[in-house]
Amino acid sequence: MAEEIGKMENVSGYLIGMNLGSYWSIFVEKQIDRKKKELDSRRPLTEGEVARLNEEFIVEYTYNSNAIEGNTLTLRETDLVLRGLTIDKKPLKDHMEAVGHKEAFEYVSELVKHNLSAMENLFAGYINSSLDMYLEMLREDA
């Protein structure tokens, strides 16, 4: 990292005098820009590539999120659990956390896809069930 920062300092004279946090921020920003350009050069991605990338992301995201909370599943075990398998000698709680995390991620992804907030979705469901109950009462009274 120090070499990269040094290269950036030589290339961008305006960086002289900045603190390490600022150097780091610019360094990370440049890395992201480089990776974004590489990704853009590979576009358009096929449906299969997008599906594979999404699957890998969900597995790694689920593993990392659950590991922070003390889940004992390894990355490979998390992948297997998300494919519907169970892992011998691992707590059921760990299996349920992994599956629940994936389902929650997919739920939020669907909300984003349809531009719905979680509150809008819950509210719409509440109104729908309330209307069903109201209509049922009207039918009973008729």
Domain boundaries, the chain: 2-41, 47-116
State the Cα–Cα distance between residues 61 and 104, nearest whole angstrom. Answer: 12
Q: Which residue has the tokens 């990704």?
A: 39
Q: What is the pLDDT of residues 25-68, one digit of tens each?
A: 888 899 999 998 988 898 898 999 989 999 999 999 999 999 99
14 pLDDT tier (thresholds 50, 70, 90): low
pLDDT at site 118: 63
Q: Compute the C-alpha angle 6/11/15, nearest 5°.
A: 70
